[in-house]
Amino acid sequence: MELQGKVALVTGASSGIGEAVAKALAAKGVAVGVAARRSEKLEALAATIREAGGRGMPITMDVTNRTSVQQGVEQLIAAFGKIDILINNAGVMYLSDIDALKLDEWERMVDVNIKGVLNPTGAVLPYLLAQKSGHIINVSSIAGRKLFQGLSVYCFY
């Protein structure tokens, strides 16, 4: 697939895999909307992408909030005219045994790791269908296939 001239949204782009994917896409000529909650990290990443000759746009977004996601998608499309690729990468993993009963962490993991895929997909899919092209890539963890001690709720998905 030719990436030059495409537009992508990468969630969870403020660090780790999301940051690396955003940089790699930008190096291939993709205009990248880097999305996460940490605005200062996104500003720095977008600046790094631009300094390397790419096109990067910071989008402060909470993937658990449909309104926030929809606004972010609209910002990206307003800036670059379209969207071609969604990388659903946002996720959290809290380390604790299930008998620790950290219910707030469980709820946060469900919100980010499940709604964080559904909300961006729901916001982007109508655009991809209308243009009859595009890609949605969901990043997941090996913990979806294998159990690890201390990750019982995380591995539950």
pLDDT digits (tens, 9 = 90+) for 8-47: 999 999 999 999 999 999 999 999 999 999 999 999 999 9
d(CA 141, CA 104): 21
d(CA 99, CA 122): 35
Per-domain boundaries in the chain:
7-93+116-142
CA-closest candidate to residue 3, choices 23, 27, 29, 24 = 29
| Positions marked active-site | 154
d(CA 13, CA 21): 8
Q: What is the Rg, in whole angstroms, of the alpha carbon atoms belonging to the chain? A: 16
Residue with tokens 């403020």: 14
Give the model confidence (pLDDT) of 107-136 as tens digits.
Answer: 998 899 999 999 999 999 999 999 999 999
pTM of the model: 0.92
CB 107 within 8 Å of CB 122: no
How far, in whole angstroms, is CA 146 from its chain's centroid?
A: 23
DSSP string, 107-128: HHHHIIIIIHHHHHHHHHHHHH
Q: What is the largest CA-CA distance in the chain?
A: 50
CATH topology of domain 7-93+116-142: Rossmann fold (3.40.50)
